[in-house]
Structure 1
Amino acid sequence: MKLKHLYIPCLCFALFSCNDKADTKIDTPQESINTKKFSTKDKTIVVYTTADNTNLRLTKTDSLTFQHAEQPLETEISVFVNPNKTFQTFIGIGGAITDASAETFAQLSADKQKELLKAYYSKEDGIGYSLLRTSIHSSDFGSGSHTYIKEGDSALTTFSIEHDMKYRIPMMKRAIETAGGKLLTYASPWSPPAFMKSNKSMLKGGTLLPNYYQSWATYYTKFIKAYEKEGMPIWGITIQNEPMATQTWESCIYSAEAERDFLKNYLGPTMETEGLGDKNIVIWDHNRDLITNRANVILSDPEASKYVWGTGFHWYETWTGGDPMFDNLKAVNESFPDKKLLFTEGCNENFDATKYQYWPNAERYGNSMINDFNNGTVGWTDWNILLDQNGGPNHVGNFCFAPIHADTTTGQLIYTPSYYYIGHFSKFIRPEAKRVSTAVSRSVLISTSFLNDDDKIVTVVMNKSDKTISYNLFVAQEKTVVKIPPHAMQTLLY
C-alpha cells in the first residue's frame, strides 16, 4: 500500500554498484567548480513539507516559479544556493537491519511486512533508502548474544552464519529486492568472541588479546564471504563499533594506536590476502567528540591509511551534556580531504511509548543530517529500522526509538516524525549527487542542497522556530519566496 500523504514522483538516479570498488571512487570533499552550468530556466520548484501540529507528512504543498532576483534586505530571511560550487559526492542514506529489527519483522503479517519494506526501500511508495548497515554476529539489539563459531575455536573451523539465516538474512534479501536489487551494505562488529578478549566476555568492554589478532582479522573475511555467498554484496566494514565505550552490552576497547596497529598489521593485509582488498574499511565508528584524535593517529600513518576508505561517526557525544560537535567533522575533512566521512549510527535513546510523536526527536535527525552533510559527510545511516512496542528486543534492556515501530500485540506499524524527516533527504537525494554550496541568512533556518545526476537540485530547509517563516530561495540570480510552518522540514525540488 502507498504511504499516506506521499504523492511524490519517482526521481531518476544512477544505480550505485556494491560489487566494484571502482564505482565507489568519489571526489574529494573539497570545493569544486561545476563545469555543467545549472539553469533555472523554465524550472518549477516543487515543495514538500512535514510539520508539527498538522497532517503534513512529506506532502506536496506548493509549486513555485523563479523570477529575477534583486538584492535582498537585511530584514528578509534568505537561503542562498550557488549551483556552480559543488563538494562531496553522495553515496546514500539508510538504516541498520539488526537482529532486533529482523525478529520484530518476522512477527508481522505478510501485508505489514510488505508495507514496512516499501516504506523504507521503495523510491515511489516510500523514502528510497540506499544504504544498509548490519552487525557481524550480535549487538545489544537482539534477543541474545551469539557468534559464528564455537567458543574457543581460534582456527574458525566451525564458522557458520546459520543463526542469521532465520531472521536477519531473509529480511535483508527482501530489503535489497524492494530497493531494486542493490543496497550499499556494510557491517560492523560489536565484540570479538569472549575467549579472544581480556575480560573473557563479549559484554562490558575488554580488549582484543594480541594472540588472537590474526584469528579476529580472518573472522571479518569469513563473514564477508559467507554473506556474499548468500547473494548480498558487502561494500565494506567498520573495524569496531564504539571502540572507546565500555558498555553493558557487546563492546571492545581500542585506543587509537591499537586500532591503527590492528588495521595495518592484521586486518588490512588479511583482507588483501583473502582477495577482499577492494572492500572499504571504515575507522572509528564512534562519536564526533574524539574523531579528530582517531583520524590524526590512524590517517597520519601511511601504512595504516592506505587501507582506510574513511572515518565513521555517531551522534551520542551529547551524553556528556554538551552540544553536537559538528566542527570536528570539518577539522577531519580539512586534514584528510582524500578520505571520506560516513555517519554510521544514531538513534533517540530512552524509549518511551508516550513519545512516539515527540517532535524534538525528528528535529534531532534534521539538525544532524544537515550539519553532517554541510561538513563533508558522504552518507548517513540510521540505527534500527524497526523495533517493537517496547523499543527492543534488546538483551540488556537498552531500549530505544526507531523511525518505525511495530506493535506486535496489534500487528500495526507506528510511523514517527523521524521517519518523515529522514525521508526529506533519502527520497530525493540520490547516490552520485553532489552537494551544492548553500547558506542561510538567519539562524532560525538551516539548509543543505544536492545536485542529482538528472540535473535537479534538492534543497532541504528546516525551521526550528515556533513561527511561520517566509524566506527567499536564491538560486544563482533567480529567486522564489517560500513559506515554511513552525517546526517543519521542507524539500524543494527544482
Structure 2
Amino acid sequence: MAHALRLKGISVLVTGLVTLHGCGGDNPVSSGNVEKDAATPSLSATSSGGSAETVTPVDTSTVRFWLTDSQTMPTAQRNLRFRKQVLVDSEPNLIEINDDVQMQTMIGFGAAMTDSSASNISQLSNADQKTLIDDLFSRDKGIGISFVRIPMGSSDYTATPVDNPGTYSYDDMPSGQSDPNLDHFSITHDQGYIIPALLSAQKANPKIFFMANPWSPPGWMKVSGSMLGGGGLASNLTPTGSELKDTSYAPLAQYFVKFLQGYQKAGLRINAISPQNEPTITNTTYSNSQLSAPDEARFVTTYLQPALGLANLNPAIWINDDNDGNSTSYVPTVLQSTGVANGIAWHCYSDDSAAQSSIHNQNPLKDTVMTECSSPSGFSSVLPAHGLLSAVRNWAIGTQFWNLALNLDSSPRPGGGPKMGQGCTSCIGVATIDPTDSEAPFSFTSDYYVLAAVSKFVPPGAIRIRSSWSNAGIQDNAAFKNPDGTIVLVISNNTGSSDENVSVLWNGRSFDVPVPAGKIATLQWNSGKAASASKSVVAVGPAGDQAGISDDSGNVDSGDAKISTTTNYIDRSGVVDPLPESAYQSERYGNSGNFSYKFPNLDGQRKYTIRLHFAEFYFSTIGSRVFNVTINGATVLSNFDIVKEAGGGNIAIVKEFSVKPTSNGIIQVSFAATVNNPKVDGIEIVSN
C-alpha cells in the first residue's frame, strides 16, 4: 500500500512507506516568488435496525443524503445537487473536499467479541442469532461491521461462568505449577460459543478484519501467579508482581503462536495482534498484566516476531493497545527499541486522539488504529461519533467501540455484563441482549447507529481523503473515497441545540446540507473515477490541523529549514507519476544553509526507492541555487542545479535512488548548500 505524507513545505509519499510533499497547506499562502517563512452498500430494510432506500449513484451531480441520530438508522433525505461555486468561502461552515489528496486506507469499523458478548449471543435462538449477526455484520442486511477485536482469554467482560465470572486462559495450571512447553494449551473454551459467533460474523462479512490480544497471560507466567492485575499503576515501571517472569517471554511468544494456529485451524485468520491490553494499568480486579515499555519492546523484538516467523505466521503487530495519553513516554520508548512492530493501537479514554498524530508524524510508516472506545450507559446523543471521526482524522485505519453485545444492567456490578471485577460501571454494548423478552430479545444502542452512519457507507479499502473546513458549530467530519469511486462525507453535529447549515465544496462545485443538532449527516456522490488503492496520502505534522495538511517538522532532523510557497503554475508534464501541483508550490529550504530529514522505524532488511521532487520557483537562471544531497551519508546529488536539470524555472523534476536503511531502520536525507539555500518540494520513500 502506498502512503503519501502530505506536509507543509514538503510531502512524503509512501508505497509501503511515506511521501513528503511541499504543498503549502490546504489553504496555501500566496507569496509570489518571495522566499520567506510561511464500495457503496445498498441500504435495504434490516430486520431490527430500520430501513432506507437503495443507493445507486448514477452521475456526479446528485448527492445522496442520510441523517442518523442515536436511536435510528440512517434515514434517506431528499437528494441534493451540486451547483457551481458561488461565494461559499464566506459560509460559516465550509468543508472543502479534495479527493486527489489521499491519506490512510481503512480496514473498517466495529467492536469487540468479548467472552461476554459471544455468551450473550449464544443465549438467543438460532433464528435470532442469525438475524443479529446479519444486522451487525452484513453490508446488505445490516451495518457492515468489519473490524473485530478478540480477547485472548478472560478480560473484564467474561461469562466464565455466567453466574460468577472469573479468570481463564488457554493454559491454566494448578497453583504452584507451570507449563513452559505449553503441553496443556487448548482453545477448547472458545470453541463453545466464541468461535461459532466469529465464524458467523465472517460468513456475513467475508472482508472482516480480526485482531486479538490478551488481558493477561496465564497466571503461572507472572510473578504474582495470578491473572488479576493487582499492584498499582505500571507507568512508573515499578514492579507490582503483575509483570512477566523473566523465564516467561519465550513461552508467551509460543502462546501467541498456538492461539493463531488454533484459530487458523478453526477457519479464522487473525490479521493483527497486540502483546498486551492496557499494559500500563494494573490496579484492576479483573484480568490484566503489567508490561513496561522496555519489556514490551524486548518481547516483540526478541521473542514474538521471531516465533511468528518460524511458524510462518504474519499478523500485524500493534504495540501499546492503551490510552492515547501514552504518547509522551510509553509508545516512543517501545518504537525506539523495536523496528518490527507494524503499528500503534490506541484507546480513547484520555480523549486525546491528537496524540495519535503526534506519534504518526514521527513514525509515518506505522499503522495507527483505535481499538477501544466505550460510551456510557443510557447515552442519548451522537457524541460517540466524535471519538470515531476524531480517531480517523488522526490517522486511524480502523476504529472500534468496546463490547459487541452486553446484557441488561445488573447488581452488584452495575453496567452491562456479565463481567468480573469492578471495571467499567456504565459500559454499553453495540447491542443489548435480553433473551427473556420473547418479542424483542435484542435491541441496539447509540453505538450501533453511530457505527451505521459510517460503516454502512465506508467499506474496507476505502481511502480517507482531504476534508478541510472552517467551522463555527460543526465539530467533526471525515471524508472517504470508496473503491468504486464514490465519495462519502460524514458530518456529526455534536452541539446540544444548534442546527447547522454546511457548505461542501468539491471539484469547483458546491452544495449546502442542513445538519440538525444531535444528528449525523452521511453524504455520498459519484466522483467519476475509482480510488487509487496503490497510493494514499498521510499527513505529517502537529496534531489537530483540521485541513489534513500539517507541518513536517516531526521529520526535520537538523538545520534551520523554512517554508516558502508560491502561486506560480508548475509544469509537471515531464514527471512520471508526479505529486499534485500544490506540492511543488511549497518548499522547505535551508534558511541558514544545511538541513536534513530523518525517517525512522523502517525495515532494515528492505530496500526503498527514494524519489526527491523539485521545482524552482524562486530563481530563474542557471547557477542561482546549487547544492548537494546525501542519503545516509552517501552523496546522491553533487552540485545539483534545479533550473539546469529541469530546463527552466517552475518546472517539476524528480530524482530517484535505491536505498537500504541503516541497521536500526533509519533513512536520513541531507541537503547541503553550495550556492544559496538548498531546497526540496517533496520526498517519496517507496518500499520495494
TM-score range relative to shorter protein: 0.7 to 0.9
| Contact 1:292/1:331, CA 8 A, preserved across alignment | no
- The question of 1:396 aligning with 2:421 is answered yes
3-state SS in 2 of match to 1:148: coil
| Aligned with residue 66 of structure 1, among 82, 104, 116 | 82
Matches within 5 A, 1:102-141: 102-141=118-157
Query: CA-to-partner distance for each residue in 1:365-390, whole Å, 9 max, x for gaps?
Result: 21011111111111112221100112
- The question of 1:312 aligning with 2:345 is answered yes
3-state SS in 1 of match to 2:98: strand
Matches within 5 A, 1:231-380: 231-246=267-282, 247-276=284-313, 278-301=314-337, 304-305=338-339, 307-317=340-350, 324-349=351-376, 351=377, 355=378, 358-360=379-381, 362-363=382-383, 365-380=384-399
Partner in structure 1 of residue 452 of structure 2: 423
Task: Report the Cα offset of residue 335 of structure 1.
Answer: 0.2
Q: Distance in 1 between matches of 2:291 and 2:172?
A: 24
- The question of 1:436 aligning with 2:465 is answered yes
* Paired letter, 1:359: S
Partner in structure 2 of residue 489 of structure 1: 520
Which protein shows a greater Rg?
Answer: 2
Identity of aligned residues (%): 28
Task: Report the Cα offset of residue 80 of structure 1.
Answer: 1.5
Cα gap change, 1:10/1:68 in structure 2, threshold over 3 Å: closer, same or farther?
closer
| Aligned with residue 213 of structure 2, among 152, 177, 188 | 188
| Contact 2:285/2:420, CA 8 A, preserved across alignment | no
| Contact 2:69/2:450, CA 8 A, preserved across alignment | no
Cα gap change, 1:136/1:167 in structure 2, threshold over 3 Å: closer, same or farther?
same
Task: Report the Cα offset of residue 258 of structure 1.
Answer: 1.1
- The question of 1:156 aligning with 2:156 is answered no
Query: CA-to-partner distance for each residue in 1:433-464, whole Å, 9 max, x for gaps?
Result: 11111122214212110001100001000112
Cα gap change, 1:92/1:292 in structure 2, threshold over 3 Å: closer, same or farther?
farther
- Aligned length in residues: 446
Query: CA-to-partner distance for each residue in 1:408-436, whole Å, 9 max, x for gaps?
Result: 32152121122111111111111111111
Q: Distance in 2 between matches of 1:297 and 1:11?
A: 48
Q: Distance in 2 between matches of 1:47 and 1:6?
A: 14
Structure 2 gaps of 5+ residues are 1-45, 160-165, 231-241, 410-415, 526-688
Q: Distance in 1 between matches of 2:123 and 2:344?
A: 36
* Paired letter, 1:237: I
Q: Distance in 2 between matches of 1:485 and 1:95?
A: 27
Cα gap change, 1:5/1:241 in structure 2, threshold over 3 Å: closer, same or farther?
same
Partner in structure 1 of residue 194 of structure 2: 168
Q: Distance in 1 between matches of 2:76 and 2:198?
A: 31
Cα gap change, 1:259/1:56 in structure 2, threshold over 3 Å: closer, same or farther?
closer
Task: Report the Cα offset of residue 173 of structure 1.
Answer: 0.8
Cα gap change, 1:326/1:134 in structure 2, threshold over 3 Å: closer, same or farther?
same
Matches within 5 A, 1:92-107: 92-107=108-123
| Contact 1:389/1:408, CA 8 A, preserved across alignment | no
Cα gap change, 1:473/1:56 in structure 2, threshold over 3 Å: closer, same or farther?
farther
Q: Distance in 2 between matches of 1:150 and 1:125?
A: 40
3-state SS in 1 of match to 2:325: coil
Cα gap change, 1:431/1:182 in structure 2, threshold over 3 Å: closer, same or farther?
closer
- Compare the two structures and name the one with the higher strand fraction: 2
Query: CA-to-partner distance for each residue in 1:318-370, whole Å, 9 max, x for gaps?
Result: xxxxxx11221111110000111011111124x4xxx2xx324x41x210111
- The question of 1:145 aligning with 2:167 is answered yes
* Paired letter, 1:267: L
3-state SS in 1 of match to 2:485: coil
Partner in structure 1 of residue 96 of structure 2: 80
Query: CA-to-partner distance for each residue in 1:215-257, whole Å, 9 max, x for gaps?
Result: 1111000000000000111112111000001121111111111
Cα gap change, 1:209/1:294 in structure 2, threshold over 3 Å: closer, same or farther?
same
Q: Distance in 1 between matches of 2:105 and 2:220?
A: 42
- The question of 1:47 aligning with 2:65 is answered yes
3-state SS in 2 of match to 1:252: coil
| Contact 2:113/2:404, CA 8 A, preserved across alignment | yes
| Aligned with residue 407 of structure 1, among 423, 430, 434 | 434
Task: Report the Cα offset of residue 110 of structure 1.
Answer: 2.4
3-state SS in 2 of match to 1:167: helix
* Paired letter, 2:168: H
Cα gap change, 1:359/1:200 in structure 2, threshold over 3 Å: closer, same or farther?
same
| Contact 2:151/2:212, CA 8 A, preserved across alignment | yes
Name which of structure 1's ranges 465-474 and 220-229 shifts more when overlaid on structure 2: 465-474
Q: Distance in 2 between matches of 1:213 and 1:73?
A: 58
Q: Distance in 1 between matches of 2:108 and 2:72?
A: 25
Cα gap change, 1:464/1:171 in structure 2, threshold over 3 Å: closer, same or farther?
same
Task: Report the Cα offset of residue 397 of structure 1.
Answer: 4.2
Q: Distance in 1 between matches of 2:286 and 2:498?
A: 42
Query: CA-to-partner distance for each residue in 1:80-130, whole Å, 9 max, x for gaps?
Result: 211221111111112111110111111112232122111111111211011
Q: Distance in 2 between matches of 1:387 and 1:9?
A: 31
| Contact 1:69/1:474, CA 8 A, preserved across alignment | yes
Partner in structure 1 of residue 484 of structure 2: 454
* Paired letter, 1:455: G
Cα gap change, 1:273/1:460 in structure 2, threshold over 3 Å: closer, same or farther?
same
| Contact 2:373/2:387, CA 8 A, preserved across alignment | no
Cα gap change, 1:56/1:166 in structure 2, threshold over 3 Å: closer, same or farther?
closer
3-state SS in 1 of match to 2:342: strand
| Aligned with residue 204 of structure 1, among 221, 229, 237 | 229
Cα gap change, 1:264/1:341 in structure 2, threshold over 3 Å: closer, same or farther?
same
Task: Report the Cα offset of residue 300 of structure 1.
Answer: 2.3
| Aligned with residue 178 of structure 1, among 193, 196, 204 | 204
Structure 1 gaps of 5+ residues are 13-39, 318-323
Query: CA-to-partner distance for each residue in 1:20-72, whole Å, 9 max, x for gaps?
Result: xxxxxxxxxxxxxxxxxxxx9643111111136xx753111121111101232
| Contact 2:346/2:370, CA 8 A, preserved across alignment | yes
| Contact 1:3/1:125, CA 8 A, preserved across alignment | no
Partner in structure 2 of residue 91 of structure 1: 107
Partner in structure 1 of residue 256 of structure 2: 220
- The question of 1:7 aligning with 2:38 is answered no
TM-score using structure 2 length: 0.63
